Structure 1
Amino acid sequence: MPIVVDIDVMLARRKMSVGELAERIGITPANLAVLKNGRAKAVRFTTLAALCEVLDCQPGDLLRWEAERLADEATPAERHL
């Protein structure tokens, strides 16, 4: 997926646990794990705003876009992963 979620980076910078963040933004740790592991199909703006408020960051600190590489462009070593 071309959207990369960097919540782990911000958690490490803030020295905060997933459980503490989930509690402070009002979602379950399981739902936060789905989001932070990049498995979420969508994120509500209210959730994104709460993440930014608690982590004192901007949306771009949590989400970034990376172009998907085509299989043809992958190096030989990457094709075997």
Structure 2
Amino acid sequence: MAIILRLDRVMADRKMSLGELSERVGISNVNLSKIKTGKISAIRFSTLNAICSALDCQPGDILEYRREETEEK
């Protein structure tokens, strides 16, 4: 996938645990862990908004786009 999640890096920069962020955002540890590890295919804007608010960051701090390399024949 071309979208890379950097939530773990932002959390480490802010010295915030998964449990603390989970409480502030209002979603379960399991769902937040899936976001953190990139094991999701979608994220609601309301969730992204809550995460950015709790971490005092921009969506671009959490999400990164990398162009996928295609094979040339």
Q: Deviations over 1:42-70 (max 9, x none)?
A: 10110000011000000000001011234
Deviation >4 Å, runs of 4+:
none
Higher relative contact order (CA 8 A, sep 6+): 2
Q: Which has the larger radius of gyration?
A: 1
Task: Say whether 1:48 aligns with 2:52.
Answer: no
CA RMSD of aligned residues (A): 1.3
TM-score between both structures, scaled by the size of structure 1: 0.82
TM-score between both structures, scaled by the size of structure 2: 0.90
Identical counterparts, % of pairs? 50
Tell me the matched-pair count. 72
Q: 2:3 & 2:61 partners in 1: Cα distance?
A: 12
Task: Say whether 1:65 aligns with 2:36.
Answer: no
Q: 1:68 & 1:37 partners in 2: Cα distance?
A: 19
Q: Which runs of 5+ in 1 are unaligned?
A: 74-81
- Aligned partner of 1:29 in structure 2 is 29
Per-residue deviation, 1:39: 1.2
Per-residue deviation, 1:19: 1.0
Per-residue deviation, 1:10: 0.7
User: What secondary structure does 1:36 align onto?
Assistant: helix
- Aligned partner of 1:78 in structure 2 is none
